[in-house]
Structure formats: structure tokens, C-alpha cells
Amino acid sequence: MARTLREATLDTRAARLRLAPSRKPYWRSVEGGLQLGYRRGDRGGVWRARRYVDGRYLETTLGVADDETDADGVKVLTFRHALAAARSWWQAEERRELGAPEQRAGPYTVGAALDDYLSHYVAKGGKSENATRTAAEVHVRPALGAIVLDRLTTRKVRDWHHALANAPRRLRTRLGEAQQLAELDDDPEAVRARRATANRVLTILKAALNHAFAERHASTDAAWRAVKPFREVDAPLVRFFTEDECRRLVNAAEPEFRRLVQGALLTGMRFGELGRLKVSEVNLDAGTATVRRGKGGKGRHVVLTDEARDLFRSLIAGRPGSTLVFAHDDGRPWGMSHQIRPMTEACRRAGIVPAAGFHILRHTHGSALAMRGVPMQVIAQQLGHANTRMTERHYAHLAPNYVANTIRANFPILNLGGGSNIADLGRPAGARTA
């Protein structure tokens, strides 16, 4: 009977040389019934693989162990090479048994891992398909795609991750033109944002590589498992408009765009959700607007305040249920990029500096609820977050809490306001203070 490796290890050359020579291999279980074997002879060792199928073992020789000679990855194999060869051998056996064609010619690369993962991601209904695919094609494939997966090193992944965090922000560029880049900004918030982006792309890369490892295209996941994301960069300083800025922005916006701004401020809905909303999806009696397909493909019911009901009542009165609530004056639907220039122009007219993107209107809605003590779970449901983790990350610091209220109630008044020459415009000149 073949020996089963228990205490000894096959991972290193020194450990293998301590094993007694034997005609039968020392076996180690790999996964799913696949075993890797090492047979120690008088002149070095040999790697073998086997798997139990239909009452018998299928077994093969993989190559010579690197006991006496440096490995070349083809005929002379390290333990890592032998693991990869064992998995590849069994994959070929399975394909042959199923009558399936060979998958790919040549070695399995990071680019192949991206292809397989994206297909898997779409098949399982992963959210943000376009964003995931774009990140992979723009940030991962050009730098790492050609690297053979078993030759990927921790240093290569780490250097790529750090370089991505130090790259300038990509600007919107016309199709066919050279990609435009922003100037590299050393402001701490800009650095944080770049590192947060690098972390998100690293997550996509690791997901693709882990999928490849699970599918037995890699002998180990050590190369990318050792690369850690940047710490403490995923808590952005959420910008939101004050009530005065909201009124100024609405007044400054062009009429057809003004309706969208009002809708976003009063509901917290995303630009795309507002642009797809139909008249039939607004229920004024229930005071809700139904988002059929939000981010991630999930729907929800958005609660309408009294002010929001008045807005929607004016927008949908007498209109067919199949028409869009928000559209251009000529009836055209709003495209995803149609809000950029109107928003920038409205901010300029309203004196809001720096100009903000449309998504700030959603943050303003969530921030207004948090500052009035609305529970995070309620805000999460209104905004369509899958759970409260994202909600708390953005808005928890704005919510009234025991610590803040206790400090404000108990810290003494030090009367340190003397010396200011700023007049209080809310009090007539010469009026006496209390």
C-alpha cells in the first residue's frame, strides 16, 4: 500500500531529503480526491499524481523533483510546479472524459483569468457589470494581463497596486481621442480617493485570481493573498449642500434640469433611477415612487415627503402611465452624461464653489435625514443600500449621538468671543445683547 504523508512535508527540498528512500510515493491530498506524490530514490525524487476513479487509481508521472538540480518548470519541478502540473493533468483528464475541446492554447495568464471571471460574474448576476468590466479592462489587463498566472509574484501585484494609487485621475474623453488625464493632486483627500480607487480595483483583480485558483488554474494563491489594501481610505468626507445652497441651486438651474434637481434632493434617487422613472411607478395615494431596477438590479419603494408629493403631482398630472416623469422638454430621455454640463453651470450661477456632481444631491438627502436623527436602517432603505454598512460609513458621523450631545451639554461657556469685529446682521445696530 502506498504511503500517506502525515508529519513530513514535501514543500521544501531540505524536508524531502530527510525522507527515507522508498519504491512507493509519499502522498499528499490536494483537493477533491486528487493527490500529489513524491517518490524518493537513491538519485533524487520524482513527482507523481493520482486520483481514484471508478474503483481504481488513475496515476501519472509529472516530472523530476528539484532535489539535485535547479527547477526549470518543465522537466525539473518544485513543489509549486508539481501542484500546478497535477491540477493541469486532472483538468485534461476531465475534458477528455467529457469529450470537451481543449480550452486554450498556451499557458494560463492573468488576462485569461479576467475573461473567465467576468463570464462567471455576469452568469451569476453580479451587480455593476459595466463598472467591473471597465475597471478590469482599463486598469488591470494592460499592466498584468500577459503575465502567466503561476509566474505572478507578490511584488508585481504590489507594485501595480501602488502605481495605480499614484496615477493621475482619468478625465472624460471623446471616443477615438487620446485619453486625457488630470494633473496629479497631492491634496490629502485626492490621495485618499486615489488609494480608495486602487483598493476597489485590487478587489476585482483578487476576485478574478481567486476564481482561477478555485478552478485549479493556479497552484497557489500566495502571490496575491499577501498584497494588502491601503488602510483607512474608504471613509470619504461626504459633501452635501446646506438648505440655502439647495434653494440657490434649484433657482439657478435651467427649467428642464431643475425638475431633476428637485427630484434628487427630495427623494435621494440616483440620476439613472430618476431618468428611468415612469408615471405609472409614482403612487401619490401611497406616497411612494417605485424604483424597478436600482444599482445591482434591486428594486425598492422610495417614500415621498409632502413636498415631494406636490412636485410629482405637478409633473405627472394628466400624463399617460408609460411616459417618463423626467425628460427633456422635447420628450427625449436623459442620457447618463447629460447632467454634467447643466450641473456645472447651475453651480456656477448659484455661487457654489467648487462645483459639485449630481450625486451630491443624493448625499444631501441622506445627510439631511441623518442630522435629524433618522435611524440608519431607515436611511438605508430609502437610498436602496443592501445593508447599513454603506449608510453608516457615509452618514453615521452626522447623526445626533450620546457622545456629542453630552459634550455640548456639559462643556462650560468660556466667554472667549471678545475681540471680534463682525456685526450680527440678524440684530439691529445698537441693540443690547442678552
Strands 44-53 and 34-41: antiparallel
Higher pLDDT, 233 or 7: 233
**What one-letter code names the amino acid at 112?**
A
State yes or no: pLDDT of 226 exceeds 50: yes
Higher pLDDT, 87 or 166: 166
Candidate from 175-179, 279-283, 390-394 with smallest mean pLDDT = 175-179
When pLDDT is cut at 50, 70 and 90, the band that residue 420 belongs to is low
Report which of residues 101 and 82 the model is more confident about.
Answer: 82
Q: What is the pTM of this model?
A: 0.59
Q: What is the pLDDT of residue 75?
A: 80
d(CA 434, CA 426): 14
What pLDDT is attached to residue 74?
76
* pLDDT surpassing 50 at residue 399: yes
> In the structure, what pLDDT confidence band is assigned to residue 8 with cuts at 50, 70 and 90?
low
Q: Which of 177-191, 218-232, 293-307, 311-325 has the lowest mean pLDDT?
A: 177-191
Q: Domain spanning 243-407: which superfamily?
A: Intergrase catalytic core (1.10.443.10)
> Tell me, what's the pLDDT at 422?
53
Cross-sheet strand order for the sheet of 282-283: 282-283, 288-291, 300-303
User: How confident is the model at residue 370, as a pLDDT?
Assistant: 92
The torsion angles phi and psi of 93, rounded to 5 degrees, stand at: -65, -40
pLDDT classification of 425: cutoffs 50, 70, 90: low
Residue 179 in this model has a pLDDT that exceeds 90: no
User: How would you classify the pairing of strands 76-77 and 56-65?
Assistant: parallel
CATH of domain 3-98: 3.30.160.390
Report how far residue 33's alpha carbon sits from residue 281's, in angstroms, rounded to the nearest whole number: 54
CATH 1.10.3470 fits 110-225, yes or no: no
Q: What is residue 306's predicted lDDT score, i.e. its pLDDT?
A: 96
What are the domain boundaries of the chain? 3-98, 110-225, 243-407
d(CA 180, CA 414): 53
Rounded distance between C-alpha atoms, residue 12 and residue 79, angstroms: 7
| Residue 101, pLDDT score | 43
- pLDDT of 171: 73
